[in-house]
Structure 1
Amino acid sequence: MRIAVVGLGVLGASAARALAHAGASVTVLERSGPLAGTTGTTFAWVNSHSKDPRSYHDLNVAGMEEHSVLARSGNGQPAWFHRTGNLEWAGDEAGAERLARSVARLRDRDYPVDWITPRAARELVPDLRVPEGVRDVAYYPTEGYVLPSLLLARLWGEARDAGAVLRCPAEVVGLTESRDGVRVELADGDEVRADAVVLAAGRWSESVSALAGHRIPMASPDVAGSATVGFLGWTTPVAARVDRVLTTPTLNVRPDGGGRLVVQGLDLDVDADPAKRPSPDGEHARTLLARLAGLVDGTEGARLESLRVGQRSLPADGHPVCGFLGESSRVYAMATHSGITLGPLLGRLAAQEVLGGEPSELLADFRPQRWEGVDPAELPALRPARFAGQQ
């Protein structure tokens, strides 16, 4: 089969890899460049926190395991997946109750989580500063983080090895289905003919799906202070021993290679505005760095090399969209907030479904047909993440 994949983020690269490995002739159409969307600006925490309903939780657990399987199969390649665990604690009584409920719910789902002491937490992260008064720390040993550029290099590199080709820049402006396939029109006047198309357009999924006469309702990625936007800071190299994810009341932290850390303060996201580029030396940057110095020894004097406003790919009801649009089985769409956790898994499942395999039960609750007859404007507004574990 000839398959066109629209978008070269983690979902598009994963689908291209799986399709090419299965023998399809794959052409990837990318408007601006790899990592240009959400994949390039993400906290990249691999987890299944606050993922309801149960089917969404189970999908993310399967996504976590897919990362491990993929990582074990890549001999001699740069380490992009670090399953080193996550540490979390609460800052006040309300937070402690919220965390206890979350841990209990996860344990009911057989999700690995343990209560450990602050001393045990510092043995795991020697430079960690746990505030006085914290007695219990939640430890999630199977969680981890991804270095997005290295993951994309792995997925897209193996797709190329199997024969996939990239056209970039290639902006898709038209999608026309017929009995013989799909005609993909490009902004430069050229076109691509394919037997099927996989849409992996991230936060542009609504406008791209509309080209084929369908709709994937997405939360706007441009609304300041909304659930779709948030600050992310990248530090200069620091002399601090941090090898895992930290989700704390004031700051979330993960390593980013080369001694750099990615930092995130969810309460600050109320000020995040995609229309305003934040300064790496401004007020929010200073706040993030002050919090980092209070959390991790050895980070005093660090600076931010970059402070960005991330824009999440978030379907209007908060849940993934995975499946064929319409009845022709010609146009397949993927869109999700959990792109890093789910990317390798969704790419593989999409390839199986597009190439004629049995529908995946893991995706049964996430088909685009759930939007038929639903007015997205009547849905409750998505709540922004403001506490650790919510994002």
Structure 2
Amino acid sequence: GETTMGSWAWINSNEKGAPSPYHTLNCLGMLAWHRCSVVQPFGEWTGSLVRRRTPIHYGGHYRAKGPLLHDPINNNDDDDDDNDNDDDDTSFFSSQHSDNHDSNVYYYPDEGCVDPGAAVRAMRSKAIEQGATFIGNAHVTNLIRQPENGPITGVTYTSSSGDNEDDTTITNHTIDSIDVVVVAGGVGSGDPVLGELPLLHSPGAIAYAKPNHDDNSSHPRLKRILVDTIRESHVLQRADGTVLVGGGFLVVGGAASAQARHDLPNTPSSATTNTTDERIMGDALLHAATPLAAPLLNRVSLTATVSRNRPMPADGFPAIGRLVDDDNLYYAVTHSGVTLSPLLGKLVAMELTDNVHCHLLESFRPSRLFQNASPPDDTEI
């Protein structure tokens, strides 16, 4: 029922191994955003401009225009929304990119972004309306099984209260009569108490900025999501004007992201607590992304920098389902949580409440992670 500021929240199936089960799942996730009445109002369907070193080819079901040599906004004559010319987007192809001749730029009109906090609050409100209860500040300490290797019959957890460390009270609780335990979402999914799902160490940082309002001039606005996989910078602007900038290897899940995490050195995975370090990290992210959208980023001020470890199963792909068919411990853990959340919410609910077996999720059962089995095929459906 909660989220953090550590998500760039790009709704897409970009760079996700098309054609493959993972790419297909994310395409359906994008479609679910349009069909779920709870979250549909929060999607901002701006389209994305992505610059990469090598050409890429998608099937006809995933709209991609390119490689583009000129301003894509002026060349997409078949879509009126794409004909709006704005300097923020064309700067992505400016002469500042001295290596443009070695790159390929693609336009993805169906992609978008979301403020995850707003979407999660809406989902939480709807769940409460339908009878759900949320317990905050809780840490699960044990899953009670009767008999020892039998099904889960209860959960013990601790909760904390108090305004500061010196005034904190820890209380023990027990929930009996458990039907199913769903381990979903964050990096806590790898806790030994919850079955120790194998996860990768996948840290990332995001800089938040706001346009300056120290003069009366109009401020340029970014109409597209900009992703540069060569310079390793990405930037988007939400409807409320907030600018989000990320950097480093583009992590989208799948085999490539898993391999990259193995190859890259470890970096801090928790929130930065030193204000000076936050400022240095945020300024560096903004500086690196400035060539993508100079008219905008030259006139913004850093407001926050967030560093988090992203939940990613060990092979980069989602882990959805039970370890064994007759167990009542169910995992729903994926890096692509924003894109997939409306779809997985529906499919997981069907499997748990209607006792159906969803073939679409078959490639992503968590048992493979405990058996050293091959990951889902990244090239074939």
Name the TM-score, length of structure 2 as normaliser.
Answer: 0.75
Choose from 71, 85, 107 the match for 2:47. Answer: 85
Name the SS for the 1:190 alignment partner: strand
Choose from 157, 160, 181 the match for 1:186. Answer: 157
Alpha-carbon distance in structure 1 between the residues aligned to 2:128 and 2:303: 32
Please say if residues 187 and 310 of structure 2, whose CA atoms lie closer than 8 Å, have aligned partners that are also in contact: yes
Aligned-residue offset at 1:292: 4.1
Q: Structure 1 pair 124/69, CA: closer, same or farther in 2 (3 Å)? A: farther
Does residue 1:120 correspond to 2:72, yes or no?
A: yes
Alpha-carbon distance in structure 2 between the residues aligned to 1:271 and 1:285: 19
- Equivalence map 1:190-229=2 (5 Å): 190-193=173-176, 194-207=178-191, 210-211=192-193, 214-220=195-201, 228-229=202-203
Aligned match of 2:128: 160
Aligned match of 2:253: none
Alpha-carbon distance in structure 2 between the residues aligned to 1:46 and 1:373: 31
Q: Which runs of 5+ in 1 are unaligned?
A: 1-7, 9-33, 221-227, 380-391
Please say if residues 289 and 302 of structure 1, whose CA atoms lie closer than 8 Å, have aligned partners that are also in contact: no
Aligned-residue offset at 1:271: 8.2
Alpha-carbon distance in structure 1 between the residues aligned to 2:245 and 2:27: 24
Q: Which amino acid aligns with 2:10?
A: W
Choose from 367, 370, 373 the match for 1:369. Answer: 367
Alpha-carbon distance in structure 1 between the residues aligned to 2:316 and 2:49: 25
Alpha-carbon distance in structure 2 between the residues aligned to 1:146 and 1:81: 5
Aligned-residue offset at 1:326: 3.1
Q: Which amino acid aligns with 2:269?
A: P
Q: Which amino acid aligns with 1:111?
A: Y
Does residue 1:247 correspond to 2:245, yes or no?
A: no
Q: Which amino acid aligns with 2:284?
A: T
Name the SS for the 2:138 alignment partner: coil
Please say if residues 229 and 312 of structure 1, whose CA atoms lie closer than 8 Å, have aligned partners that are also in contact: yes
Aligned-residue offset at 1:202: 1.6
Please say if residues 329 and 354 of structure 1, whose CA atoms lie closer than 8 Å, have aligned partners that are also in contact: no
Aligned match of 1:273: 268
Q: Structure 1 pair 318/216, CA: closer, same or farther in 2 (3 Å)? A: same
Q: Structure 1 pair 373/338, CA: closer, same or farther in 2 (3 Å)? A: same
Choose from 287, 291, 294 the match for 1:294. Answer: 291
Q: Which has the larger radius of gyration?
A: 2
Aligned match of 1:310: 308
CA RMSD, aligned part only? 2.9
C-alpha offsets along residues 64-83 of structure 1, whole Å, 9 cap, x if unaligned?
1111111xx25xx8942112
Aligned-residue offset at 1:166: 1.1
Q: Structure 1 pair 371/291, CA: closer, same or farther in 2 (3 Å)? A: closer
C-alpha offsets along residues 346-372 of structure 1, whole Å, 9 cap, x if unaligned?
111111111133211110011112134
Alpha-carbon distance in structure 2 between the residues aligned to 1:176 and 1:197: 11
Does residue 1:51 correspond to 2:31, yes or no?
A: no
Q: Which amino acid aligns with 2:26?
A: N
Q: Structure 1 pair 298/181, CA: closer, same or farther in 2 (3 Å)? A: closer
C-alpha offsets along residues 298-345 of structure 1, whole Å, 9 cap, x if unaligned?
432422111121311010111110001334341211111111111111
Alpha-carbon distance in structure 2 between the residues aligned to 1:237 and 1:79: 24
Alpha-carbon distance in structure 2 between the residues aligned to 1:35 and 1:306: 16
Please say if residues 281 and 304 of structure 1, whose CA atoms lie closer than 8 Å, have aligned partners that are also in contact: no
Aligned-residue offset at 1:124: 5.0
Aligned match of 1:340: 338
Q: Which amino acid aligns with 1:114?
A: K
Name the SS for the 2:71 alignment partner: helix
C-alpha offsets along residues 191-220 of structure 1, whole Å, 9 cap, x if unaligned?
11221121114211121xx325x4421113
Alpha-carbon distance in structure 2 between the residues aligned to 1:141 and 1:280: 37
Q: Structure 1 pair 176/204, CA: closer, same or farther in 2 (3 Å)? A: same
Alpha-carbon distance in structure 2 between the residues aligned to 1:62 and 1:375: 25
Aligned match of 2:162: none
Name the SS for the 1:152 alignment partner: helix
Q: Which runs of 5+ in 2 are unaligned?
A: 75-83, 159-170, 213-218, 251-263, 376-381
Does residue 1:65 correspond to 2:31, yes or no?
A: yes
Please say if residues 279 and 305 of structure 2, whose CA atoms lie closer than 8 Å, have aligned partners that are also in contact: no
Deviates more, 1:143-152 or 1:319-328: 319-328
Q: Which amino acid aligns with 1:285?
A: G
Please say if residues 88 and 221 of structure 2, whose CA atoms lie closer than 8 Å, have aligned partners that are also in contact: yes
Name the SS for the 1:182 alignment partner: strand
C-alpha offsets along residues 141-165 of structure 1, whole Å, 9 cap, x if unaligned?
1111111011101211110111111
